[in-house]
Structure 1
Amino acid sequence: AQGRTLYVAEATAKQVAVFDIAGNRVTKVFSLPEQPNGLALAPDGLRLYVTAAAPNGRIHVVNLKTGRVSYMLTVGHTPNAPVVSPDGKTLYVCNRFNNNVAVIDLASKKTLAKIAVPREPVAAAITPDGKLLFVANLLPAGAADRDYVAAEVSVIDTTGNKVIATIQLPNGSTGLRGICVSPDGKHTYVTHILGRYQLPTTQLERGWMNTNALSIIDVSKRKLLNTVLLDDVDQGAANAWGVACTDDGRYICVTQAGTHEVSVIDRVKLHDKLASVAKG
């Protein structure tokens, strides 16, 4: 909301809190009939789309002037990660246990399509021009006893409502939790765990078996650019979760659910370093 307001989904309280950033306080709360697990603000700032995780999932559309639910939309099993298109006309919702993404026309309130993705979509992000939707699949699809086991990011063409690319992350990648697109639309960032399941179980205290990672995707090429680790040698960045870029694109912010911390990464320096490494 123009950088002044933060909306917080409070699941166990069945409400959304409105937090005034400048005043550093909660100014009001909106009660809901179900536990909220995902929020998306309309581009005009007048409505909040709230997903409620349930087998027969629903989206509660909250009028932010009145604080009341204007109407509800029926979606799939455990909906989450709602995303509104930049023009405010379309809502995308990840139906986690249906393994699909619902495309909803907000004018007619009808579902236009359900796009199949590999396994348990839990996060999504749209490019600034609204042409591509990147979807993070929580877990690898298929058997876990293969030589290469990794979760994937699905790339959806929003014009044709179809998957046009599937980007496999490094071997051992699992637990994808957060995804965002840079303000310039050039890169997508996704947080996940990187498990070295093919190595001997040694030096667990150094995080050699499971590390926390940030993978970087080239949007135009729809390919994995690189993966960087968020852990220090002696201090882990446990359970990397949400990820977002600052509006000016200077920094990448990653929340660490296991350590209750936020990592702030200099985005320009990160890409400069990766470019230098690529050149040798």
Structure 2
Amino acid sequence: MTTEDGTQGPRRAGEPPSGNPGREAMAQTEQVLGDLPLERLFAKARDEGLWVSSAPAEAVQEAAPEVKRIPVGVRPHSVAVSPDGTRLYVTNFGDSSVSVIDAYGEAVVASHPVGESPYGVAVSPDGTDLYVAATGPGTVTQYSISGDDLVQDGSILSADDHSKRPYGMAVGPDGRVYVTLALSDTVLVTDRFLKNPTSIPDIDFPVAVAVSKDNARVYATNYFSKSVSVIDASGKAALAKISVGNEPYGVAVSPDGTRLYVAHFPGTGSVSVVDIAGQTVVSTIPVGDGPRGVAVSPDGTRLYVTNFFADSLSVVTL
């Protein structure tokens, strides 16, 4: 389906792929391989030397040094930070676990099994609940946080009720949960108990999502259109797209709302720094191999990036 401006919009049910070569190739590959999650396809292509990495953006200066690289689980996908900044939570796609990291000690202090092939992860504003999106069963699960333990006594949202394959996640300051449903070109919004879902439609293959601290804006990476959608959180409609370069995946917004941090996967091991007001990439940050998920510490001094192919988490000083 083509929009008035000539770009490819979301497909209707039963409509063939949009004409985007990347989407068509992925759709055909998944049909042949039995609907495997996107990460398995990337890993298979990488291991067999079939994937050619590309630069994330035009030439800009590098900024912000990596100060630490923390080993985590297998094929880490996303990262979330507790509201007090003391704990990091990393979903490990390869071994279906969540690593709990002491942010100050910079070491894994616990690991917990979760649903098969976990992608997104987010923490509630009060730090009492963790949400994990697992693409294997197609669910989002709410866990209670008890020290460094996770207790599955909360709600479970089945993606079968809306669309398959939850990807990225975020929780807004008001407790609303945002889940990207990339194959449906949709961002799903629920309350903190994963109930009363509504949808933000017409977001081009959103794979990750972030919410501003003032709860006014939602940002979703558009993987195949090399951009980030800027969404009005109250009106639940896209306002603009910011061009950020090839393969944008994970996204985080700075606490002061002036910067976006966008990981490019597979990319060339870097994160783009985006000036939101100017809607431009102003610098890049070198990290590990296959940057995926991105999170910023509550005080805005640290950036955390999962390195999918290096089984590690980069810690960057901002």
TM-score range, shorter chain: 0.5 to 0.7
Q: Deviations over 1:223-249 (max 9, x none)?
A: 213342627xxxxx2222233323222
Aligned match of 2:134: 95
Partners of 1:25 and 1:262 in 2: CA distance: 14
| Number of positions where the alignment pairs a residue of Structure 1 with one of Structure 2 | 211
Note closer, same or farther for the CA distance 1:262–1:34 as it changes in structure 2 (3 Å cut): closer
Aligned match of 2:202: 169
- Moved segments of 4+, more than 6 Å: none
Larger RCO, structures 1/2 (Cα 8 Å, 6+ apart): 2
* Residue 154 of structure 1 pairs with residue 197 of structure 2: no
How well do the aligned residues superpose, as a CA RMSD in angstroms? Answer: 3.1
Task: Give the secondary structure class of the aligned counterpart of 1:109.
Answer: strand
Q: Tell which structure's C-alpha radius of gyration is larger.
A: 1
Mark the runs of 5 or more structure 1 residues left unpaired by the alignment.
1-10, 13-21, 141-150, 195-210, 232-236, 271-280
What code does the residue aligned with 1:113 have? S
Please tell me whether the aligned partners of residues 58 and 79 of structure 1 are also in contact (alpha carbons under 8 angstroms). yes
Please tell me whether the aligned partners of residues 73 and 92 of structure 2 are also in contact (alpha carbons under 8 angstroms). no
Aligned match of 2:124: 85
Note closer, same or farther for the CA distance 1:120–1:227 as it changes in structure 2 (3 Å cut): farther
Q: Superposed, which structure 2 residues align to 1:61-80 within 5 Å?
A: 61-64=100-103, 68-80=107-119
Give the fraction of aligned pairs with identical amino acids, expressed as a percent: 27
Mark the runs of 5 or more structure 2 residues left unpaired by the alignment.
1-42, 47-62, 280-318
Partners of 1:152 and 1:23 in 2: CA distance: 33
Partners of 1:188 and 1:263 in 2: CA distance: 17
What code does the residue aligned with 2:248 have? A
* Residue 45 of structure 1 pairs with residue 85 of structure 2: yes
TM-score normalised according to structure 1 size: 0.64
Partners of 2:198 and 2:121 in 1: CA distance: 21
The Cα of 1:119 is off from its aligned counterpart by 2.3
Please tell me whether the aligned partners of residues 213 and 227 of structure 1 are also in contact (alpha carbons under 8 angstroms). no
Partners of 2:264 and 2:108 in 1: CA distance: 32
Which of 229, 246, 252 is 1:215 aligned to?
229
Q: Deviations over 1:35-85 (max 9, x none)?
A: 42222222233322221113x611122334555543332211111221111
What code does the residue aligned with 2:221 have? T
TM-score normalised according to structure 2 size: 0.57
* Residue 190 of structure 1 pairs with residue 220 of structure 2: yes
Aligned match of 1:276: none
Partners of 2:257 and 2:231 in 1: CA distance: 15
The Cα of 1:90 is off from its aligned counterpart by 0.5
